[in-house]
Structure 1
Amino acid sequence: MVIHIATLLGSVVTTLAKRLLMLILGFWANAMVCAFSFIAIAAVASASFMLANAAYAAGTSSASNPAPIKIVTTIQQQWQFNLLKEALRRSGQSYQVEQMSTQMNQKRKVEEALAGTVDVFWSMTSKELEETVLPVRIPLFKGLLGNRLLIIRKTDEARFANVKTLADFKQLKAGQNRYWPDASILEANGLPVVTSYQYTNLYPMLEGGRFDYLALGAQEIGDELASHPDPALKIDTHILLQYRSPAYFFVSPKRPELAAAILAGLENMISDGSFDEMFNRELKIDKLYRDAQFEQRVIIRLDTPDLSPLTPIERQELWLDLFSMQGAK
């Protein structure tokens, strides 16, 4: 009897223990499920927050770093193109500059700018040009373009060596591109001028005696003669033809904001001295002065009646000192 009761009690205890164990295990299982559920919810929330932040950051980045503004230019020359790119970089805007490979004369460039297919080009200025498209009135060559050396026939060297005055110089005939503002300046000063609509035609015309000299900017004349080699031609060593003829960037009237950006960038470069540093380095100004021997030449000064009253002549930092030079007597 005692054994039976003990057995019964043992069975009851065992059953109770099993149920208690099941309750404990069930509690922990539920707790673990809840814990894992909480972790999963937290992870999803965290991931959602991160995605939202990433999307916001991407949107913010896109807004603060917009796609570069595309501009089209006809400029191919190294100095002018490099200067344009640096000015745009300094403007605070992001630009993508596309160079047109098509060769255009001055008239065509203006037409394309008016149509909006060309955004910016460079040229020597004139009143008419400044009234037609938008000038950025910072002289790209600091006035150097208006200091002209002459390509002449070698057989005429003595004729040019005898020139002492403007009256002497008027006995010689100039060759010019019809679209260049220089032609009008020379004519306005009473100089005889023969023109061609094609620049490349001027070299054989000079050799053939159609005119006596071709005046080009001191910074370009060496390269130009090398590009049109002719054993009958040379650079004169006696005369400096001088007149105010700043070259500017000109912008399509459809892009006034671009003109403002270029001006802002150039002014930034002028203020910190980097314009002069880049100008002297790229155009090798020290060497140019040594080779050209400006101060030893007879200076023939011309008026520029077509010069805009808005030309920044009073800003001395924009010009070289050549216009105050006395030259040879």
Structure 2
Amino acid sequence: MPSRFIKTTILSIVWLTSAVAYSSPVKLQSYSGDTSLPHKILVETLKRANLEYIYPYASDKDVSNARILNDVKTGSLDVMWSMTSRQLEDDYQALYFPLFRGMLGMRLAIVKAQNKHLFAGVKTLSDLKAFSAGQGKT
């Protein structure tokens, strides 16, 4: 299943970039040292399709989202990735693939080692509901 998902994603990205890439390198929103999943998938897709790509922001890693959106509109960038919203879908052509497989909003509970005994008896959702959770900034 994950292999099929990745193949579908790669094919979709190739389709998105192919028209632009035949005439010039695909302009990515990222920089060469980016280790994010969207960047890795896009770069691997472009490599497998033997398409050239460049990084217009190579010297500026902290580009604002507003600038990226504007650069896609003006053609300074060819591809960007973002969470979806009605406004973005109205303003841009969206291709839908859940790179994080719907897990972006999921949270993993982390418990300090000295408190793990508090959760030893938790076996059901009802047992878990006796606790309250918090989330830090990151």
TM range, normalised to the smaller chain? 0.5 to 0.7
Question: Which of 213, 217, 235 is the equivalent residue of 2:136?
Answer: 213
Classify 1:112/1:149 alpha carbon distance in 2 versus 1 (closer, same or farther; 3 Å): farther
Over the aligned positions, Cα root-mean-square deviation in angstroms equals: 3.1
More helix by share: 1
Question: Which 4+ residue blocks in structure 1 deviate beyond 6 angstroms?
Answer: none
For 2:52, which of 81, 85, 96 is the aligned residue? 96
**Conserved? CA contact 2:68–2:80, under 8 Å:** yes
**1:87 CA displacement:** 2.8
Cα separation, partners in 2 of 1:130 and 1:77, compared to 1, 3 Å: farther
SS in 2 for 1:125: coil
The one-letter code matched in structure 1 to 2:24 is I
Deviation at 1:138, TM superposition (A): 0.9
The Cα offsets for residues 222-278 of structure 1, whole Å up to 9 and x where unpaired, read as xxx6xxxxxxxxxxxxxxxxxxxxxxxxxxxxxxxxxxxxxxxxxxxxxxxxxxxxx
TM-score (norm 2): 0.52
Give per-residue Cα distances to partners, 1:135-180, cap 9 Å, x unaligned.
11111111121214589xxxxxxxxx8427xxxxxxx7xxxxxxxx
1:80 equivalent in structure 2? 38
Match of residue 95, structure 2, among 123, 136, 145? 136
Kindly provide the amino acid, as one letter, of the partner of residue 104 in structure 2.
Answer: L
Indicate yes or no: 2:132 matched with 1:163: yes
SS across alignment from 1:110: helix
User: Is the 1:68–1:95 contact (alpha carbons within 8 Å) kept by the matching residues of 2?
Assistant: no
User: For the residues of structure 1 that align with 2:75 and 2:87, how far apart are their CA atoms?
Assistant: 19
Distance 2:81 2:108 in 1: 21
> 1:295-310 to 2 correspondence within 5 Å?
none
**Which aligned pairs between 1:40-59 and structure 2 lie closer than 5 A?**
none
Structure 2 residues without counterparts, runs of 5 or longer:
1-21, 111-129
Cα offset for 1:88? Answer: 3.3
**Cα offset, 1:89, TM superposition:** 4.7
Structure whose CA Rg is larger = 1
When residues 148 and 122 of structure 1 are mapped into structure 2, their CA distance, relative to the original with a 3 A threshold, is: farther
Deviation at 1:118, TM superposition (A): 1.2
How many angstroms does 1:83 deviate by?
0.8
Matches within 5 A, 1:23-62: none
Q: How many angstroms does 1:70 deviate by?
A: 0.7
Residue pair 2:26, 2:52 contacting (<8 A) in 1 also:
yes
Give SS of 2:53's match. Answer: strand
2:81 alignment counterpart: 122
- d(CA) in 2 for partners of 1:111 and 1:132? 11
Q: Percent identity?
A: 27
Structure-1 separation of matches of 2:44 and 2:63: 24
Q: Does the Cα contact within 8 Å between 1:69 and 1:95 map onto a contact in 2?
A: no
Matched positions, count: 92
Matched position secondary structure for 1:134 = coil
Paired residues of 2:46 and 2:52 also in contact (CA < 8 A): no
CA shift in 2, pair 1:142/1:115, >3 Å: same
- In 2, the alpha carbon distance for the partners of 1:114 and 1:138 equals 21
More strand by share: 1
